Amino acid sequence: MTANLFELLERSIVDRSKVAITTPAGETIGYGDLIALSGRLANVLTARGVKPGDRVAVQVEKSVPALVLYLATVRAGRSIFPSIPPICWRSSRTSSAMRSPR
């Protein structure tokens, strides 16, 4: 049995209408919606040319959209390489270098 995390999650859901996530603002997202959102985003990755086995590097805050992106990436057979934005930088020069590609 070689299931990825998304497949294990999907198999374990008995009732897709149940709440999967409650945001700090009080918004609720059901398991069915979470699966649908991740499916749409997985299709976008494929349409953009990201192939199974590719690594997807992203810089995201910890958030519901970041979780959906993670699930979509795994669901599509890709690997995700998240980079959490830093809270502070030692110098503005380092910060500037990290923000602007050369």
Average pLDDT, the chain: 81
- In the chain, where the domains are located: 5-99
Dump pLDDT digits (tens) for 26-39: 999 999 999 999 99
Cβ–Cβ under 8 Å, residues 61 and 84? yes
> Top-level CATH class of 5-99?
alpha beta
Distance CA 29, CA 21 (A): 5
Query: What's the pLDDT at 10?
Result: 85
**Residues recorded for the chain:** 102
Distance CA 52, CA 91 (A): 38
- The helix (H) or strand (E) run that includes residue 56 is strand 55-59
